[in-house]
Amino acid sequence: MSDDERATTTRWAPGARLAPAALAGIPLALGGGTLGFVGSLAFDAALVIGAAIDARRLAARAPHAERHHDARLVLGARNRVVIRLHNASEHAIRVTVRDDLPEGWHADPDELVAEIPAHARRELAYDVVPPARGVARFGDLHVRIEGGLGLGAAIASIAASEETRVYPNVLGTRRRELAMRLSRVAAPGMRSVRVLGGGGEFEQLREYVHGDPFRDLDWKSTAKRHRPITRVLQQERSQQVLLAIDAGRMMASRAGDGATKLDHAIHAALLLAYVALRQGDRVGLVVFSDDVRAFVPPGRGAAQYRRLLEAVFAVQAELTHVDVRRLVDFVRARVPKRALVVVFSDLLDESHAMPLATHAAVLRRKHLPICVTMRDPVAEELASAPAAREHDAYVRAAAADLVAERAAVKAHLRRAGIGVVEAPPGELAVAAVGRYLELKSRSAL
């Protein structure tokens, strides 16, 4: 937004030296009798009038101000915000700038101070660490202009309200670790080489060799050349990966680091998408709770990754149950080709996981389903902690029951043919990528 388009309102404020100057007249009022009291009042009145005149004069010198930052801010990382100031007046000014931040945000530093010569420009900056994904809104910029005498000041509120988007911090912390894991796990068959046979696109014709399947004979060429000719096919290299993210009520609870389980699931899903796209696979995404909330059909390339990111950056958990049947029906209808279906969900109890196991048989007719879920390190620690008091014994028993129930749920899912990947929240992304690479190297997809 240009300087001329920004609405600015100003108000008077006492300067830093007004109160000390006013207090200086107190001895005169106390020790000078009636005359001294009247003189003190006159002195204070003169100070107030001088401050008001000072503030009015300063208001005319309010600088133009604009806020600038990246179009995409990153969750949990330091993001730089730049305030550009332009003093168009004939006088030098001293300013203090405060920004109206989105709720729950904090600036470092929270105030920016500068002296700007006449007709000069300055750039000031502060850092913010967004605490949550999604859409956030900045408010106005507030610029305090101090006078030379320090009796009065003007505060200019410059309209600068705007929405910004905060995206998951996907590649910053895990990229190097994933690259190392990728180099260790990736098999030669995963590289960009041609593999003949097994179905796929037409590659070439050649003379029949003993052992070639009869279905691969090219009868038209055989008749034309009067000898058996085999059609050689290039095996299709690209597989499909569908990321299914549970956004129901169980995913709203927070993990040990303060982030929600949904935050960790989205982070892991996006990292898996990044690696799978780099492997040349087609990646799609579905967000579900009691119904399907978002769907990105499988696709390839950097543009597909951006589509996936846009689909999930603002998703929040809903306090609703999860309808796995709707998810399965949707996947069967919209993803007809075989895919690795990675379900990111929380297996807190059997009532939550049983529907997934029940419908797995239907999904497994065409797809390869696995479930990625979070371990609860706190519960595991409490389940094995010593019980010095009666209260500790109750806590340990409850934690042990929770751990045992989760183990039973995982066993039930595995019996139903669903692979289970379990890791602490902070390690979920690497665990999910590791399982994908393992399946890929075994040609299990």
How many angstroms from the chain centroid is the CA of residue 23? 53
pLDDT at 12: 57
| 239 or 344: which leads in pLDDT | 344
Which DSSP symbol is given to 217? B
Report residue 29's pLDDT band, with 50, 70 and 90 as the boundaries: very low
pLDDT at 231: 80
Q: Which of 74, 75, 438, 65 is nearest to 259 (CA)?
A: 75
Residue boundaries of the structural domains of the chain? 8-167, 175-189+237-441, 194-235
Report residue 60's pLDDT band, with 50, 70 and 90 as the boundaries: low
Kindly give, in sequence order, each residue whose CB lies less than 8 Å from that of residue 137, ignoring residues fewer than 6 positions away. 102, 161, 162, 163, 164
Distance CA(380)–CA(393), nearest Å, equals 14
Whether the CB-CB separation of 244 and 288 falls below 8 Å is answered with yes
CATH number of 8-167: 2.60.40.10
pLDDT at 187: 42
Q: Which of 381, 361, 368, 364 is nearest to 424 (CA)?
A: 381
Of 159-173, 198-212, 242-256, 410-424, the range with the lowest mean pLDDT is 198-212
pLDDT at 443: 74
Q: What is the mean pLDDT of residues 358-382?
A: 80
3-state helix, strand, coil in the chain (%, to 5): 40, 30, 30
pLDDT at 262: 95
Q: pLDDT (tens digit, 9 = 90+) per residue, 62-103? A: 889 999 999 999 998 999 999 999 998 888 888 999 999 999
Q: What is the mean pLDDT of residues 291-297?
A: 97
pLDDT at 138: 97
pLDDT at 216: 80
Distance CA(139)–CA(101), nearest Å, equals 6
Instruction: Give, in order, the Cα–Cα distances in Å from 100 to each of 13, 106, 156.
Output: 19, 10, 13
Q: pLDDT (tens digit, 9 = 90+) per residue, 184-212? A: 555 444 433 333 444 455 556 778 776 67
Which DSSP symbol is given to 214? G
Q: What is the mean pLDDT of residues 233-237?
A: 53
Grouping H, G, I as helix, E, B as strand and the rest as coil, residue 181 is helix
Share the mean pLDDT of the chain. Answer: 79
Whole-model pTM: value is: 0.74
End-to-end CA distance of the chain: 50
Of 182-196, 238-252, 339-353, 406-420, the range with the lowest mean pLDDT is 182-196
Identical fold between 8-167 and 175-189+237-441: no
pLDDT at 333: 94
Residue 402 pLDDT exceeds 60: yes
Grouping H, G, I as helix, E, B as strand and the rest as coil, residue 46 is helix
Residue 376 pLDDT exceeds 70: yes
Q: Domain 175-189+237-441 classified CATH 3.40.50.1100?
A: no
Structure tokens at 359: 């419908």
Q: What is the mean pLDDT of residues 255-275?
A: 89
